Amino acid sequence: SSTTANEARVAMYPNPNNGDQLFVSLSNVEEGVESINVDIYDSFGKRVAQRTIGVQDGFANTTIALNGELANGMYLVSITSAAGVMHTERLLIQK
């Protein structure tokens, strides 16, 4: 994938995930954005988790406690800001 120098970059790990914790970080967040939303959707499009993360100096980092509540399978993690959808990643839960 090609990225521009000022495009936001997402790191999400571990993936595949065992369903305990998911680490999400975002860098190069556009100026003026104070928070972003992280939503996790199941294969049916149902939102199964949601977090709001504060942005500081263009960076956002968080740990999402999944607590073993997600079943094995593929999920979509959508990261959005006030400016619109920034990034969508696939997340595989494998226990």
Please state the pTM of the whole predicted model: 0.86
Query: In terms of Cα–Cα distance, which of 2, 61, 59 is closest to 29?
Result: 59
Residue 8 pLDDT > 80, yes or no? no
pLDDT at 2 > cutoff 50? no
Question: In the predicted model, is pLDDT for residue 72 greater than 90?
Answer: yes
Query: What strands, in cross-sheet order, belong to the sheet with 47-54?
Result: 47-54, 35-41, 73-81, 84-93
